[in-house]
C-alpha cells in the first residue's frame, strides 16, 4: 500500500513464523548445512567405503620402462602399453579388458591435451610472425613446421577433430 502526502511510511507487520531474537533451532542449523554435507562429506564417505581395489595400476605407453614390462594393448586403437606384472597377476580376463579400456581412455585424453597445447603454441608462433608492416617469413615458416607429435598420433588413430 502506498501513502501519498505527509506522515511516516507504515511498516509491514512481521510474518507469523518469524522470530524476533534471530536464534535458530538445531534442526534449522542442520538443514542449512545440508548442502555442504552433500558436497564434501558424502563423496568422502563413499570413497572410503567403496574399497581400495578400484584403483587402476600405473602404466607406461609405447615402450617398457623400469618395472612396467608386461605388455598389453588397447581394444580399439591397438596402442601398446606396459604395466607392472605384479599389479595385474590376480586380474581376471574381464578385469584385464576393463584395464585395456581405461588405458585407451587415459592415452586419448593425454594426447588430446597435448595436441591442444601444441596447437596453441603453433598459433602463438604464427601471431609472433606478424609485425607492424609485414610478415616475418622466417618466423612464419618455423610456425608452419612446428612439430605436433600428439596431434599426428591422434590423426593416425583417426581421433582428431579438425575445425
Mean of the per-residue pLDDT values of the chain: 82
Q: How confident is the model at residue 147 (pLDDT cuts 50, 70, 90)?
A: very high
Residue 14 phi, psi dihedral angles, 5° rounding: -70, 150
Q: How confident is the model at residue 52 (pLDDT cuts 50, 70, 90)?
A: very low
Return the residue matching grid coordinates 618466423. Answer: 139
Q: What is the mean pLDDT of residues 59-88?
A: 93
Distance CA 136, CA 113 (A): 29
- The number of beta carbons lying within 10 Å of the beta carbon of residue 54 is 7
Given a contact cutoff of 8 angstroms between Cβ atoms, the answer to whether 139 and 125 are in contact is yes
Task: Identify which of 20, 1, 19 has the alpha carbon closest to the alpha carbon of residue 9.
Answer: 1
In this predicted model, what pLDDT tens digit does every residue of 27-38 receive, in sequence order?
888 777 777 766
Residue 162 phi, psi dihedral angles, 5° rounding: -95, 140
pLDDT reading at 150 higher than 70: yes
Provide the edge-to-edge strand list for the sheet that holds 70-73: 59-61, 80-83, 70-73
pLDDT reading at 142 higher than 90: yes
pLDDT reading at 83 higher than 90: yes
In this predicted model, what pLDDT tens digit does every residue of 90-108 receive, in sequence order?
999 999 999 999 999 999 9
For the chain, where are the alpha helices, taking DSSP H only?
A: 26-36, 42-49, 85-88, 93-129, 137-144, 149-157
Residue 43 phi, psi dihedral angles, 5° rounding: -60, -35
Amino acid at each position: 500500500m502506498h501513502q501519498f502526502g505527509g506522515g511516516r511510511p507504515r511498516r509491514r507487520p512481521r510474518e507469523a513464523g518469524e522470530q524476533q531474537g534471530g536464534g535458530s533451532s538445531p534442526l534449522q542449523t542442520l538443514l542449512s548445512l545440508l548442502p555442504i554435507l552433500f558436497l564434501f562429506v558424502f563423496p568422502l564417505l563413499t570413497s572410503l567405503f567403496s574399497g581400495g581395489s578400484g584403483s587402476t595400476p600405473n602404466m607406461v605407453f609405447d615402450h617398457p620402462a623400469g618395472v612396467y614390462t608386461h605388455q598389453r594393448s588397447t581394444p580399439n586403437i591397438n596402442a601398446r602399453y606396459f604395466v607392472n606384472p605384479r599389479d595385474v597377476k590376480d586380474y581376471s580376463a574381464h578385469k584385464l579388458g576393463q584395464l585395456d579400456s581405461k588405458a585407451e581412455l587415459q592415452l586419448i585424453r593425454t594426447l588430446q591435451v597435448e595436441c591442444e597445447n601444441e596447437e596453441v603454441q603453433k598459433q602463438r608462433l604464427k601471431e609472433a610472425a606478424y609485425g607492424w608492416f609485414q610478415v616475418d617469413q622466417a618466423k612464419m615458416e618455423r610456425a608452419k613446421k612446428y612439430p605436433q607429435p600428439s596431434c599426428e598420433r591422434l590423426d593416425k588413430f583417426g581421433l582428431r577433430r579438425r575445425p
